[in-house]
Chains A and B, each alone.
Chain A
Amino acid sequence: MKKLIVIILLASVTGMVTLSFRPETVKTDKYLISPKDSVGSVKAFMSVYTVLKSARCMNCHPAGDSPLQGDDSHIHTMNVKRGADGKGLYSVRCSNCHQAENTAGLHMPPGNPKWGLPPANMRMVFQGRTPRQLALQLLDPKQNGGRTKAQLIEHMAHDDLVGWAWHPGDGRTLPPMSRPAFAAQVRLWIAKGGYAPSAKAK
Chain B
Amino acid sequence: MINITVNGQHHEVDADPNMPLLWVIRDILGLTGTKYGCGAAQCGACTIHLNGEAVRSCVTKLNRAAGQRIVTIEGLSANNDHPLQLAWNELNVPQCGYCQSGQIMSGAILLRENSNPSDQDIDDAMSGNICRCGTYQRIRAAIHKAAAMQTEGAKL
Q: Point out residues on A near B: beta carbons under 8 Å.
A: 77-81, 89-93, 95-97, 99-100, 103, 105, 107-109
* Contact of B40 with A by CB under 8 A: yes
A/B pair count, beta carbons within 8 Å? 63
Shortest beta-carbon distance from B128 to chain A in Å: 4
A96 touches B110 (CB 8 A): no
Q: Mark B125-141, 1 if CB is under 8 A from A, else 0.
A: 11111000000000000
A79 touches B59 (CB 8 A): no
Please name the residue on chain A nearest to B18 by beta carbon: A104
A90 to B114, CA, bound (A): 9
A51 to B34, CA, bound (A): 42
A79 touches B40 (CB 8 A): no
A97 touches B41 (CB 8 A): yes
Question: B113's contact among A80, A81, A90, by CB below 8 Å, is which?
Answer: A90
Please name the residue on chain B nearest to A96 by beta carbon: B55
Contact A92 to B64, CB < 8 A, known contacts A97-B56, A107-B40: no
Contact A91 to B60, CB < 8 A, known contacts A96-B53, A103-B41, A108-B40: no
Contact A81 to B59, CB < 8 A, known contacts A96-B53, A96-B54: no
**24 A-B contact pairs sorted by A residue (CB < 8 Å):** A77-B42, A78-B128, A79-B123, A79-B127, A90-B106, A90-B125, A91-B106, A91-B109, A92-B125, A92-B127, A92-B128, A93-B54, A95-B55, A96-B53, A96-B56, A97-B41, A99-B59, A99-B61, A103-B59, A105-B40, A108-B41, A108-B59, A109-B40, A109-B41
A89 touches B124 (CB 8 A): yes
B126 touches A91 (CB 8 A): yes
Shortest beta-carbon distance from A80 to chain B in Å: 7
A92 touches B124 (CB 8 A): yes
**Which residues of the other chain, A, contact B128 by a CB distance below 8 angstroms?**
78-80, 91-92
B125 touches A91 (CB 8 A): yes
Q: Point out residues on B near A: beta carbons under 8 Å.
A: 40-42, 47, 53-56, 59-61, 64, 105-107, 109-110, 113-114, 121, 123-129
Question: B53's contact among A81, A95, A100, A108, by CB below 8 Å, is which?
Answer: A95
A105 to B59, CA, bound (A): 11
User: Chain A's interface: helix, strand, loop or mixed, by majority?
Assistant: loop
Shortest beta-carbon distance from B49 to chain A in Å: 9
Please name the residue on chain B nearest to A76 by beta carbon: B128
B60 touches A79 (CB 8 A): no
**Which residues of the other chain, A, contact B107 by a CB distance below 8 angstroms?**
91
**Which residues of the other chain, B, contact A107 by a CB distance below 8 angstroms?**
40
A97 touches B59 (CB 8 A): yes
**Which residues of the other chain, A, contact B106 by a CB distance below 8 angstroms?**
90-91
A91 touches B47 (CB 8 A): yes
Q: A78-B128, A90-B110, A91-B126 are in contact. List 8 more A-B contacts (CB 8 A).
A: A80-B128, A90-B106, A90-B109, A90-B113, A91-B128, A92-B125, A95-B55, A108-B41
A90 to B53, CA, bound (A): 8
Residue in A78, A93, A108, A109 whose Cβ sees the most chain B Cβ within 10 Å: A78
